[in-house]
Amino acid sequence: MDNKLDPWSSSNITDYSKLFEEFGISPFENILPEIPSPHKYMRRRIIFGHRDYEQIAEAMRTGAPFSVMDGFMPSGKVHLGHKMVMDQVIWHQENGASAFVGIADREAFSVRGFSWKKCREIGVEEYILSLIALGFKPEGLIYFQSGCRSVKDLAFELGARVNFSELSAIYGFSGETSLSHMLSVATQAADILQPQLEEFGGPKPVVVPVGPDQDPHLRLTRGLAGKMNMFRIEERETSEGWKYLSIRGKGAPKEALQELKKRIPGKVKLYEEHIDILQTPDYAFLERFVSQISQPEKRNYFMSRIQEIAKFANVAKPPEFSEYEKYFVFRRTWKTAGKILEEVVAEVAAEFDGYAFIPPASTYHRFMSGLQGGKMSSSTPDSYIALTDDPKEGAKKVKKAKTGGCMTLEEQKKLGGKPDECSVFELMLFHLIEDDEELMEVRQECVCGTRTCGACKQLAAEKMQEFLKDHQEKRELAREDLDEYRIIYKK
C-alpha cells in the first residue's frame, strides 16, 4: 500500500527509485542522448523517468507525426506546478507535435463537486489564459471534456473493456466510489487516446508529460490501448529458435484478416484467427511491403529508412561483414518490417472500423517542494506561487522562503549552503534561470560558502517579479486573442 500512487490524494513521493522497480518506469537519462535539443527539465534531471519515450524522440528526429496530450483538472489557482506541465506541452508542440489539452471538468465535477459553470470559469480564467500566455500555438486543440463528443463516446467504448476489479486494483476504488468518478477515469483514458482517432490523423505516438501521481491513469490507458485493438502483433519463436511475426486478430472479421494477408508479401500463413509471417524480411521484402502503405508521406518516410539500411549493407559487401555488422543489418531490417507491419495493420483495421492504438508514452517530473519546505498546498498560499499572484507579492513569498543555508553567516562561509535542500535554488533550477552555466555558478558559489542566502533571495525575487509581470501582461493579450484558438466548450 505504501507505494500505491493515488492521483487524488497528493501523496508525498520520497523515493523515486522505487517507481522504476515497481511500476516499470524507465530512467530518463538513458534516452537523453537521443533527443535533439533537450528541454531544461530534461537536461537538469527534473524529468527523471519515462515510458516508451524512444518513439517520441525518433519522431522528433525524423519528422514523423506525433502528438503531445495533457489534461488539467480545474481545481483552483494556476501555479508554478501547472507551468511545468504547460512548458512541456508547448516544447513538444514547438518540436513538431500536434498538441491536445483537455480541461478535466468531468473529473472536477465528480471528484470535487464543482458545477459546470465554475469549471468553465476556472478553466478559462486560470488554465487556458496561462497556457496561451506561455506560448501554446493556435494549431493545438483545447477542449472541455464535457463538451467533447469524441472523447465522451470513446470513454464509453473504453468502459466496455474495464471492470470494477481492475479499477480497484489500480486506484483502490471501493464500494463507496461513485459511478461518475469511475467515468472520469475512462474519460481521462479517452483524452489520452483521442489524438490517435481517424479524425486526428490515425495512430501515432503520443506523449503525456505528467507527475508520477498520474501514472495509474497511464497504466490503465496503455492496457486499454492493446485491448481495444483489432489486431495484435507479436514476435514469436519456433521451437527451433526461428523468429517470426504473428498477427493475432481474435474477434476480427474474416475479411479483415484476408485483406491483411493480401497486403503482406512473402511467405504468410492464414489461420482462423491469426496470420503468421514466416519469411525473414530482407531488402526486397521490405521494398515490396512498403508499397502497401497507402499514405504517401508515411510511405516515403519508410522508403528513406529502407534506403538507409541498404546504404549500410552496400558499403561492405555481405561476405566481408563482421558478425556484428550482419546482426546490425538484420536487427534494423527486422525492426523496420515490424514498423511497416504496424502501419499496414492500422490501415486495414481502420477500413474495417477497428482500432490500432499505439500505447501512449509518458514522462515523469519531480514535484517542486513548498516554499516553506514540505509540500505545496493550495490551502497554504505562502507555500506556492500562483501565476496570477501580484508580482510584488510573489517576490515577497520568495524572500520568505526556506533556504538551505546555515544558521549564521559565519557558519555558512565555513561550511557552505545546501542548494539541494533550498526552495529558492529550486525556483531558479525549475523556472528562473535558463542558462545552465549561470545556474551552475550560483550552485558552486553556494556550496563553497561565497554566496549568501540574501543574495540568492534578492536575485530570485527580482526574476520572479519580472516573470510574473511579463506573464500577466501576456495573459491579457491572450484574453484578446482567445477566439483565434480552437476551444471546445460545454454546450
**Residues engaged in binding ligand TRP (CB under 6 A):** 7, 69-73, 102, 104, 107, 188, 191-192, 208, 210, 214
* DSSP per residue, 285-352: HHHHHHTT---HHHHHHHHHHHHHHHHHHHHS-GGG--HHHHHHHHHHHHHHHHHHHHHHHHHHHHHT
Comparing CB distances to ligand TRP, the nearer of 70 and 426 is 70
Q: In the complex with ligand TRP, which residue's Cβ is closer, 220 or 432?
A: 220
Please identify, using beta-carbon distances, which residue of 214 and 403 lies nearer to ligand TRP. Answer: 214
Residues 235, 240, 261: CA angle, nearest 5 degrees: 45
Q: Which is nearer to ligand TRP, 81 or 135 (CB)?
A: 81
> What Cα–Cα distance (Å) separates residue 88 from each residue in 101, 126, 421?
12, 18, 25
β-bridge pairing 361-365 and 206-210: parallel
Shortest Cβ distance from residue 327 to ligand TRP (Å)?
Answer: 39
> Which CB atom, from 187 or from 465, has the smaller least distance to ligand TRP?
187
Q: Minimal distance in Å, beta carbon 441 to ligand TRP?
A: 36
CB of 214 to ligand TRP, least distance (A): 6
Count helices and strands (H / E) in the chain. 20, 12
CB of 124 to ligand TRP, least distance (A): 16
Q: Considering beta carbons, is residue 153 or 353 the nearer one to ligand TRP? A: 153
- At its nearest, how many Å lie between ligand TRP and the CB of residue 189? 8
Instruction: Tell me the three cell numbers of residue 467.
Output: 516573470
Residues contacting 410, CB < 8 A, separation 6+: none
- Nearer Cβ to ligand TRP (238/377): 377
Nearest in space to 362 (alpha carbons), one of 103, 81, 19, 133: 19
Q: Which residue is nearest to ligand TRP (CB)?
A: 71
Angle between helices 164-171 and 179-193 (to 10 degrees): 80
Q: How far is the CB of 192 from ligand TRP (least distance, A)?
A: 5
Least Cβ distance, residue 220 to ligand TRP (angstroms): 11
| Grid cell in block for residue 143 | 477542449
Q: Which residues pair with 355 in a beta bridge?
A: 229
Given a contact cutoff of 8 angstroms between Cβ atoms, the answer to whether 187 and 154 are in contact is no
